[in-house]
């Protein structure tokens, strides 16, 4: 079921300067050159096998990935990177959690491209190959950008990229894709709330169908996306 667009929960208060907002909008814009357009997070297989046939199915799929899968895990990793956690350890954990070959490539390729593209903003020294949420969290912290705002923007960007893939694959119209995005607002805000106090021990997931889709995509005969 697609949820209606939600108001910001009363317990989320964000204070940002205009410059911080501008940087966050730039870094997490679909046009920022991370190569995100090339990845579907296994969604391509889900479309081929008939799991995703319309906007309702897409909304349900993405809700599960955000709340119970990679979206939630990425939010936790981002937060700990933002708080100055051991970046090397966090990066190793992000790679381990990704689990599947294409998922690892997805997060490492995007994270590495993100830091390269952000060179103009003087990013911190990071591992040569860096997971995407760790890279975003570390850069946002360096510029004093609010942790909650960064987490919400990251998850919004994650959802937007996958909706863009689905618009091409199902296919769906742009209006349908925007309805799905609007319907995911409450899910994203809930994940932001629920991960605020999460520890690294809380990383895990149960979006099993999405994991299976990522596995099957590795051997999918005809495909447009790298994951």
Indicate whether this model's pTM tops 0.85: yes
**Domain-embedded: residue 89:** yes
Q: Which residues contact 99 (CB under 8 A, 6 or more apart)?
A: 211
Q: Please give the residue range of the domain that contains residue 128.
A: 34-217
Judge whether 176 lies within some domain. yes
Phi, psi of 6 (to 5 degrees): -110, 155
Q: In this structure, is residue 52 part of a structural domain?
A: yes
In a domain, 27, yes or no: no
Number of domains in the chain: 1
Domain for residue 134, yes or no? Answer: yes
pLDDT at 8 over 70: no
Q: Is residue 165 part of a domain?
A: yes
Whole-number Å distance between alpha carbons of 18 and 80:
24
Decide if 3 is inside a domain: no
Question: pLDDT per residue over 163-185, tens digit each?
Answer: 999 999 999 999 999 999 999 99
CATH number at residue 56: 1.10.4190.10
User: How would you class 143 by CB atoms within 10 Å of its CB: exposed for 0-12, middle for 13-18, buried for 19 or more?
Assistant: middle
**In the chain, % of residues over pLDDT 70:** 94
């Amino acid at each position: 079921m697609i949820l209606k667009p939600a108001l910001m929960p009363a317990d989320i208060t964000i204070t940002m300067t205009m410059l911080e907002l501008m940087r966050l909008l730039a870094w997490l814009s679909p046009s920022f050159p991370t190569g995100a357009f090339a990845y579907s997070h296994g969604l391509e297989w889900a479309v081929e096998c008939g799991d995703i046939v319309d906007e309702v199915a897409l909304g349900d799929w993405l809700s599960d990935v955000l709340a119970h899968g990679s979206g939630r895990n990425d939010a936790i990793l981002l937060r700990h990177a933002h708080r100055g956690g051991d970046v090397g350890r966090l990066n190793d954990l992000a790679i381990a959690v990704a689990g599947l070959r294409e998922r690892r490539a997805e997060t490492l390729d995007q994270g590495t491209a993100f830091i390269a593209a952000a060179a103009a903003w003087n990013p911190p020294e990071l591992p040569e190959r860096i997971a995407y949420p760790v890279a975003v969290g570390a850069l946002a912290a360096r510029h004093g950008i609010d942790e909650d705002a960064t987490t919400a923007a990251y998850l919004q960007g994650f959802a937007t990229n996958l909706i863009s893939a689905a618009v091409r694959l199902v296919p769906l119209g742009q209006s349908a894709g925007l309805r799905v995005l609007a319907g995911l607002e409450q899910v994203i805000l809930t994940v932001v709330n629920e991960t605020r106090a999460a520890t690294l021990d809380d990383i895990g997931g149960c979006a099993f169908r999405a994991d299976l889709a990522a596995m099957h995509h590795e051997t999918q005969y005809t495909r447009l996306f790298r994951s």
